Amino acid sequence: SQQGEEDPQALSIQEGENATMNCSYKTSINNLQWYRQNSGRGLVHLILIRSNEREKHSGRLRVTLDTSKKSSSLLITASRAADTASYFCATLTNAGGTSYGKLTFGQGTILTVHP
Amino acid sequence: EAQVTQNPRYLITVTGKKLTVTCSQNMNHEYMSWYRQDPGLGLRQIYYSMNVEVTDKGDVPEGYKVSRKEKRNFPLILESPSPNQTSLYFCASSFTTGNEFFGPGTRLTVL
């Protein structure tokens, strides 16, 4: 089963508005990452937040992580038409105490930003 | 230019005909993985490799094989493809499983 589940499945907003996407997961994680995918293309890494961090910023992106609720949110401020894409959260769980592990993706949120 | 390349980008084949999708990265990454993406199911990991000669199953390994003989290459092998393996496949690499770099994808259709 999928570790990460995004909400909403689809989001439609006007340019200039903020977009908030949420991600919930089930098991303990090492870190949580957000990726963006333009239609049919490869995913692009946006931001990574470690399990001991609560908030992280990168340009117009703000990510929060609440490990007690096993949830994260991605906020895109002042959205642009070019932000139209699918956004995925992915959780990393380490394998056997190593620094490597398995990355599990959610089903994604489709964001449409209208000009 | 740092990149992950996959070949072919598009492939239409028939049930049972063995095929290989190649993946190569030029960033000296230890970690490589394969995913399939299907509508409504998101991305699911097929196999991953922590380093040369070290591979492990992901969530949906049935019907697939991989090998990691060289650090830069991680081919995906379908010994006997079936229609339920029709999907969009992505290869990815990273130094650790953060900041994964994804390839452009291979769209496979099995008739």
DSSP three-state, residue B85: helix
Q: pLDDT digit string (tens) for A9-23?
A: 999 999 999 999 999
Residue B111 has a pLDDT of: 96
Q: Is the pLDDT of residue A72 over 90?
A: yes
Residue A99 has a pLDDT of: 57
What's the length of chain A? 115
State whether B56 and A48 contact (CB < 8 Å).
no
Q: Is the pLDDT of residue A96 over 70?
A: no
First to last CA, chain B: 36
In angstroms, rounded to a whole number, what is the distance separating the alpha carbons of residues A21 and A96? 31
- Closest-CA distance, A89 to chain B, in angstroms, reads 10
Q: Is B39 on the interface with A (CB under 8 A)?
A: no
Q: Please give the interface size between A and B, counted as residue pairs whose CB atoms are below 8 Å apart.
A: 65
Going by their DSSP bridges, the two strands B101-102 and B4-7 should be labelled as unpaired
Q: pLDDT digit string (tens) for B82-110?
A: 999 999 999 999 987 678 899 999 999 99
Tally of CB atoms within 10 A around B79: 12
Q: pLDDT digit string (tens) for A77-94?
A: 999 999 999 999 999 887
Q: pLDDT digit string (tens) for A6-65?
A: 889 999 999 999 999 999 999 899 899 999 999 878 899 999 999 999 999 999 999 999
Residue B86 corresponds to which tokens in the numbers above?
């029709």
State whether B43 and A48 contact (CB < 8 Å).
no
Work out the percent of chain B whose per-residue pLDDT is above 70. 99
B56 contacts in chain A (CB < 8 Å) = 95
Residue B95 has a pLDDT of: 85
